[in-house]
Amino acid sequence: MTTSICSAIRHRDMKYRRYAIGALGFIADRRSIPAVLSISKDTGEKDSFRGDALQSLYQINAKIGNKYAKWYAGRTDYLGQIAKRILKIDPELTERSMEHD
C-alpha cells in the first residue's frame, strides 16, 4: 500500500491528495520518507501540501522531521506553522488515535 500511495501523491491533480499524504504519516512506513520529503522541499508545491508532508515526515521519523522543521520555522504560512509545532513537540502531531462512532 505504501508504494502505491507514494506513487499516487506525485500527481499534483490527485483528488484527496492531502489525505493520502497524511495517510503516509499515519502508516509510518520508512519507505515513504523520500516521497514526503520531496513534497516538503518542493517550492513549487502549495504550502498546505508541503506542511502536510512535513508533518507526515515527522510522524514517520521524528529526528528527520525535526531537522527539516528547523528550515521552515521562520515562515508564516501553513508550512511554517507545522514546523513550529514540530519544534515545540506538539503531541497532536503524532496522535494516532481514530475516532469510532
Question: Average pLDDT over the chain, rounded to whole?
Answer: 92
3-state secondary structure the chain: CHHHHHHHCCCCCCCCHHHHHHHHHHHCCHHHHHHHHHHHHCCCCCHHHHHHHHHHHHHHCHHHHHHHHHHHCCCCCHHHHHHHHHHCCCHHHHCCCCCCC
Grade residue 78 by pLDDT with cuts at 50, 70 and 90: very high
Taken in order of first residue, the domains within the chain and their CATH numbers are 2-93 (1.25.10)
pTM, 2 dp: 0.90
Q: What's the confidence (pLDDT) of residue 70?
A: 98
